[in-house]
Structure 1
Amino acid sequence: MDASNGRFEERPGTGARDHSRRETEEERADRRWNELIQEVRVAQTGVQILFGFLLTVVFAPRFTDLSDTDRTIYIVTVLLGSTATGALIAPVSFHRIVSGRRIKPQAVVWASRLILAGLILLLGTLTSALLLVLRLATDNTVAPWLVAGVVAWYLLCWFVLPAWARYRHTTAD
């Protein structure tokens, strides 16, 4: 039993079982890895499609008509999209390189961190892409307000509600 939270939990290297699920550390790592990969597939697909589209924008005839500010926003968007793609694909590479080394629990932790970083970078990509599109499609004075509203929605859905649920439904005993 873990004294810090009062629950039965696995002890690395002990083969102890999680009594709430009746799984060993390795079984838990396998389950968590499978869940993690299922979760990341959604974000990976979306960011890859967005990034692919962003790469084609520079070849559009109207690209040369963009202001310096809009070109800067575009470059930032492409860089954010590229780094988000890298972070969200990284767990696959990480798993492949460490596969068979009996460090899956640690790999799950690192993959989870990479995915969180990828989601934060995806937030930046979507924000800057939306800013660029809305600057071109609306009056520049309203675009930042619209983007701020959408970013607030992303933050609420992606981080605030999950954090609230974690706090609300995680017991200390």
Structure 2
Amino acid sequence: MKKVFGQHKPFFVFLFKFLMFYLLITMLYKFFLNSYSIERKEVDAITTHVANQTKNTFLFFGKDCKLFKHEFEASFKLIYKGKYVARIVEGCNAISVIILFASFVFAFSSNFKKALLFMLIGAMLIYVLNILRIVLLCVSLYYYPQFEHLLHGTVFPLVIYGVVFLLWIIWVTKFSVYGTRVDKK
């Protein structure tokens, strides 16, 4: 057993760091979410901010958009050009994607300051791309409602996760200790 662990120590260290960071941040996020009442259909502050930023993005581009608190659930209704096209729920705020992204960066880090800076920049990029994703999804659903499943379930998640994957590649090859070791050989 010691031989296996010793032989694959970098992998086990990565796995341990990833799981510990992921579980810790996920638990903190769940604790945050639990401070909102499901019975009163309260929407958490992050999702509320994402919904408002989405509306403001539409308005910035001169597009007709209205946002209403959903009367039956903890979400917002987004009305585009007078048509109810989408609801914005907690899962739309990209926090789970940001946690996954940050966990990977942390697991592949040796310098916490450098990792934290990359995590913050990456999180901001993911956040902004997520707002644009929601806007483009709403416009697409307005014109092509028959493609809702494809757009919401495949195309737009592929874009977000594709960007996260590219950020991971950049982190590992350009900024992490593992990438710099390869460059020095």
Fold match by TM threshold 0.5: no
Instruction: Tell me which structure has the larger Cα radius of gyration.
Output: 1
Q: Name whichever structure is richer in strand by fraction.
A: 2
> Shorter-chain-normalised TM-score: which range?
0.3 to 0.5
Q: TM-score, normalised by structure 2?
A: 0.35
